[in-house]
């Protein structure tokens, strides 16, 4: 049986940490949280079955396995970057390019997109799927909706509100937050542990996903209680696909941001429509 290839994000985290010999420095470079980089590296080590770093108080040291892996991963990432850049066309006239995560496209943009296209029938839209702030450095987009901290996304981006974390479940799912399975979105600084610090208790998640959007999908299907961004959950709550499992709101150090090409009139039109939509 062919062994499954570990996710590319794990290799990216390893490569950056190996060059910088610091999870914190790697996180700043590739636009992820320190905890996400550490978790990705740990997952890669578990997948390969060998330790890649010796973790010390003052930093990291590569093991022999890590030293052997680093040049191969670095070369592979450079090859992939070069190959992908050849297929990134420059947007043509009257095409508005919007870069966002699949979660934002599915849960915020898509439910109201018909309204925008009806108002602006001459604007064609191209969506690019991105996740982390550094992903936006490699795309040409008129509208960008990254997720991260203000430091990661830059001062030219505005945070989308509301930005707390709320616990949601399907209205058909019976039970309390304490008795139901908890769904955790990994890779963010805040989650159910933060919820416990604010509300009390020690909630332990049972299901782990890599995005708030996936957590929402699982919750809609009755799989448990999802802890997700308020702004991302607005449509699901408004349409009663999900209901609050608890009235509390936990703070979030990161969030969704918006920035546009200020010289593009169509980008301004999309921004105005988008901000009006999330403010309803």
- Out of 86-100, 192-206, 232-246, pick the least confident: 86-100
176: three-class secondary structure by DSSP = coil
Q: How far is 171 from 279, CA to CA, in rounded Å?
A: 24
Number of residues that make up the chain: 280
Domains of the chain from N-terminus onward: 8-84 (1.10.10.10), 95-158+255-279 (3.40.190.10), 165-244 (3.40.190.10)
Q: Output the pLDDT for position 237.
A: 96
pLDDT, greater one: 225 or 198: 225
Q: Above 70 in pLDDT, residue 143?
A: yes
Tell me: the pLDDT tens digits for 175-189?
Answer: 988 899 999 988 778
Give the confidence band of 24 by pLDDT, cuts at 50, 70, 90.
Answer: confident
Q: Above 70 in pLDDT, residue 89?
A: no
Cα distances from 60 to residues 24, 32, 51, 52, 153, in angstroms, run 11, 18, 12, 10, 26
């Amino acid at each position: 049986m062919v062994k499954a290839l570990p996710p590319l994000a794990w290799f990216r985290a390893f490569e950056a940490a190996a060059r910088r010999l610091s999870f914190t420095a790697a996180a700043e470079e590739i636009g992820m949280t320190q905890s996400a980089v550490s978790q990705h590296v740990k997952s890669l080590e578990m997948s390969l079955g060998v330790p890649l770093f010796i973790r010390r108080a003052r930093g990291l040291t590569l093991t022999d396995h890590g030293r052997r892996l680093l040049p191969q991963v670095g070369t592979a990432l450079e090859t992939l970057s070069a190959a992908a850049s050849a297929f990134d066309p420059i947007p043509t006239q009257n095409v508005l390019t919007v870069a966002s995560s699949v979660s934002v496209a599915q849960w915020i943009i898509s439910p109201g997109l018909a309204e925008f296209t009806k108002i602006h029938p001459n604007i064609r839209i191209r969506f690019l799927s991105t996740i982390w702030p550094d992903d936006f450095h490699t795309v040409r987009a008129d509208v960008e909706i990254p997720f991260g901290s203000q430091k990661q996304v830059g001062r030219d981006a505005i945070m989308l509100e509301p930005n707390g974390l709320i616990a949601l479940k399907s209205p058909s799912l019976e039970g309390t937050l304490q008795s139901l399975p908890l769904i955790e979105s990994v890779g963010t600084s805040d989650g159910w542990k933060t919820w416990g610090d604010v509300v009390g208790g020690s909630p332990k998640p049972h299901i782990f996903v890599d995005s708030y959007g996936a957590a929402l999908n699982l919750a809609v299907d009755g799989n448990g209680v999802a802890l997700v961004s308020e702004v991302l959950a607005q449509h699901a709550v408004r349409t009663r696909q999900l209901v609050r499992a608890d009235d509390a709101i936990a703070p979030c150090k990161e969030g969704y941001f918006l920035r546009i090409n200020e010289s593009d009139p169509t980008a301004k039109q999309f921004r105005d429509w988008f901000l009006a939509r999330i403010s309803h």
